[in-house]
Structure 1
Amino acid sequence: MSFSAIICASQAASDSLGVLRANLHFAGNSLLEYQVRQAAEAGADQVMILVGAVTQSLSRAIDSLTADGISVSIVRDMVSLLREAPRDRDMLLVADGAIVPQRFYGAVAAQPGNVLLVTEDSATTARFERIDAGQRWAGLARVSPDVLFGTLDMIGDWDLELTLVRAVVQAGSQRIAVPAEDVMEARLALVGSQAEADLVSRALLAGKRAPAGEAGAERMLIAPLAARIAPEFLRSQVPAAQVRAGAIAVALIGIVATLLAWPMIALLLFLAAILLSLTVDRLVQLARRGGLEGWMGVMPHLIVLAGIALLGSEADRTMEGLYLAGLLAILMLGLRSGRFPGARKWAILTPGSALLILLVTTGGGYFHFGMTLAIACAILSLGLAVLGNESPES
């Protein structure tokens, strides 16, 4: 059964005068935009935002969401909500300032009728609304049309969010419990300030799994460093698009260093470009924009491959450079497109892996040997990827 969503966005932040919780910066967007994207990803075909006043930042968020094809509307009072809310589908209710792991959006969306997401009553959950002696509401609920409109018909001076929750409790709803560790590790939270939003974003970022296309040195060595850097970009509120542009720029500077016959500097710049690219992959994942930006997501790697081919040419190993770049491109694109499901991630030679081999051998004065070794490893890696029959790694 299809459903719509109501996101409550009227409470003020505790640490910023005149700023709503919904407008707190979170995961590269506003908190409201993040919540809307979560609801849409869970299957909501219409999202209504309940606000007291329309601000400039709210308008920008609406424009961004609409540009991505998400149906969003604003309701400012109960009369508007009564008029706008569809009467033939359930409504997903999202609490003001609630950050809920996406899997619980999916769990609530999968259960028709009245559903409450709950957590245990404890000192760590004191900010959540108590619903009985042992549980508190965890910020997400699914409300059936009869309960929703039965409640809206009692329009008066009351809090819609909490009144609907109490109506759902009284209607004998299903309950989905959130494990205590999600609260303890700040993956589930009710944030009221920018500092709290930053803390939760870092916790979510730390828990993100590596994208499917990461393997080799990128997965084993560079990705852990990217996971440490990403929170710094979140804290400074640098947009992911700017970080991606920076990765491309650094890779292009590596091309210039190659043309100037500075191979060690070029290799280091190429590694830095890959590090920035992996960092922005995590920022895009957290922002729930999906797809890791298509071809732009692999552009730094493609420039690095061109740089590897150019390094071979500058060292009078033109064909070897082309062979290595070509093999790495096949491995990288095949891995990203899911063509090597049985390959072990550590056994895939990636651009980062090849760069480390070249960096070590070039530093010792054996660039030609490093190129030959990298080609041999690429051939072996491609053979293992094609012939491998193991089940995919998680």
Structure 2
Amino acid sequence: MLAGLLFAVQETDDRPERLTATLPFGGVTLIEYQARLLIEAGAGQIIVLVARLTPELLGAVSRIGRRGVTVDAVRHIAEAAGKLHPLARVLVLADGLITTERVVATLAGEGGDALLVVPQTDAGPVFERLGGAQAWAGVARLDPRRFADAARLPADYDAQSTLLRVAEQARATHVMLPTEALAHGHGIERDRVALERRGRAVLAAIVSDRRGWFDRRVVAPLARWTLPAMIDRGWPGLGVAMIGGLIGLTGLVAVALGWSTTGLVFAFAGCLVLALGATLSGLRDEPRIERAQRVGGLAVPALAALFLGAATSGMAGNVAALAVAAALVTIAALAERAGPERLRRWWWGSAPAYLLLVMVATAAHWPLVGMAIAAAYAAATLAAAIERLRRQA
């Protein structure tokens, strides 16, 4: 099993009475964001090593526990050692670490003791130095025995440094930090302003780290421009979901009434707002709202295609357009089911991408051609997804 260890010990540089772990980050606290990274990596247990339990930290620990994992707050390494299963793998994140899911996944797999490292020339001022002109990059995978070893050392030693030195003595493997991670905001901060600045880089990396071309080329640039302001101003995820849903619904009504191009533009805009809202809700640990927006992002393009097919068939006096629209929705739904995010290739289609093709063709007065092209694109995506699943079977 995979467990995680987080630290809430260091105080901020600008406000000594506040813990770095409780600084705001992405609409939550930094330690909640770190816990989310561990949970996404597969951790079923999270241990928080604390110096003191502040009201902000108690609230954060309580919210982490609502995500379906076991959360224990301890004051000493010996207590942490007693909470761990002997066969567990423990992912350790440094106090004040800001990083992305991809970096944490580097050490989330099977294996022995390992430390994520970076050359000293690239290390920040609070990175802990190791031998060989390297520094610890803030992520480690440790055997539970390292905690027992560290617990035998004097209790007044710094817990994080102690675990790091024990791992070094056990000849932990050094894994180099991916070269692009530092540019994407990876680092350790104990200052609120610096944390906010680095957080923007991490947020940009999160929204850009998508596999499909549509998310990378359309959604990600828009998210980099809008999400930081939405987070700073405290926009609620539910509010964004309602705005996106209303815009999408307006578009569907317009398509159904025969205003095809205008309606498709509104439907497409609604999908973009729902995609932004889903990312925002994910950052704020609002899984139900996030799930609802992702479902909405699939439903709006499907209904828009069906309404357009019905309207076009009514004008042409045959059912050809409606049949093509139904085929598009069916094939696209199967492709979505057959191609989960972790398996997707960059060129594969998605519901908003199909809607974009249909919208452009409809604006050129070729709605049937647009739906046919989108259906062919969905069919190619489905075929590629099936072949990829067959190779993995």
TM-score, normalized by the shorter chain, greater than 0.5: yes
User: Which secondary structure does the structure 2 equivalent of 1:350 belong to?
Assistant: helix
* Structure 2 counterpart SS, 1:332: helix
Q: Distance in 2 between matches of 1:30 and 1:102?
A: 16
Alignment-derived partner of residue 37 in structure 2 = 38
Supply the distance in 2 between the matched residues of 1:167 and 1:323 (Cα, whole angstroms).
66
* Stretches of structure 2 lacking an aligned partner (at least 5 in a row): 389-393
Residue 361 of structure 2 corresponds to which residue in structure 1? 357
Asked if the contact 2:335–2:378 (Cα under 8 Å) also holds between the matched residues in 1, the reply is no
Match of 2:149 in 1: 150
| Other-structure match for 1:119 | 118
Q: Which residue of 2 aligns with 1:200?
A: 198
Query: Cα distance, 1:383 vs. partner?
Result: 5.2
| CA distance in 2 between partners of 1:93 and 1:50 (Å) | 11
Work out whether residues 5 and 90 of structure 2, in 8 Å CA contact, stay in contact via their aligned partners in 1. yes
* Structure 1 residue 85: Cα displacement: 4.3
Output the amino acid matched with 2:332. M
- Describe the SS at the equivalent of 1:233: helix
Q: 1:299 aligns with which of 296, 299, 305?
A: 296
- Residue in 1 that maps onto 2:369: 373
**Superposition pairs for residues 1-394 of structure 1, below 5 Å?**
2-15=1-14, 18-77=17-76, 80-81=79-80, 83-87=82-86, 89-110=88-109, 112-122=111-121, 124-132=123-131, 134-183=133-182, 185-208=183-206, 211=210, 214=212, 220-221=217-218, 224-257=221-254, 265-283=262-280, 293-294=290-291, 296-310=293-307, 316-317=314-315, 319=319, 322-323=322-323, 325-338=325-338, 344-345=347-348, 350-358=354-362, 360-361=363-364, 369-382=365-378, 384-385=380-381
Provide TM-score, normalisation by structure 1. Answer: 0.78
Give the CA deviation at 1:54: 3.0
Give the secondary-structure state (helix, strand or coil) at the position aligned to 1:353.
Answer: helix
SS of the equivalent of 1:93 reads strand
Tell me the alpha carbon deviations over residues 120-142 of structure 1, each in whole angstroms, 9 at most, x when there is no partner. Answer: 11265322011236111111223
Alignment partner of 2:47: what SS?
strand
SS at match of 1:108: coil
Q: Distance in 2 between matches of 1:168 and 1:371?
A: 63
Change (3 A) 1:244 1:331: farther
Q: How far 1:28 moved relative to its partner? A: 3.9
Gapped regions of structure 1 (runs ≥ 5): 362-368
Give 1:102's aligned amino acid. E
Q: Which amino acid aligns with 1:338?
A: A
d(CA) in 2 for partners of 1:295, 1:26: 23
The size of the alignment, in residue pairs, is 380
Q: What is the CA–CA distance in structure 2 between the aligned matches of 1:291 and 1:225, rounded to whole Å?
A: 23
Q: TM-score, normalised by structure 2?
A: 0.78
Cα distance in 1 for partners of 2:129, 2:115 equals: 12
SS of 1:377 mapped into structure 2: helix
The alpha-carbon distance between structure 1 residues 296 and 283, as it changes in their structure 2 partners (threshold 3 A), is closer
What is the Cα deviation at residue 103 of structure 1? Answer: 4.0
Shift of 1:325: 4.3
**Pair 1:12–1:262, CA change in 2 (3 A):** farther
Amino acid at match of 1:225: L
How far does residue 165 in structure 1 lie from its aligned partner after superposition?
1.3
Q: Deviations over 1:237-295 (max 9, x none)?
A: 43545433332122123345557776554333212112113324544676798999556
Match of 2:391 in 1: none
Aligned partners of 2:277 and 2:293 also within 8 Å: no
- 1:390 Cα deviation from its structure 2 partner: 11
Maintained 8 Å contact 1:198/1:234: no
CA distance in 2 between partners of 1:231 and 1:320 (Å): 45
Q: 1:388 to 1:59 in 2, by over 3 A?
A: closer
Residue 70 of structure 1 deviates from its aligned partner by 1.4
- Paired with 1:116 and 1:344, the residues of 2 have a C-alpha distance of 35
Deviation at 1:389, TM superposition (A): 9.8
RMSD: 3.9
What amino acid maps onto 1:276 in structure 2? V
The Cα of 1:148 is off from its aligned counterpart by: 1.8
Alignment CA distance shift 1:339-1:4 (3 Å): closer
Alignment partners' CA distance in 1, 2:56 and 2:320? 53
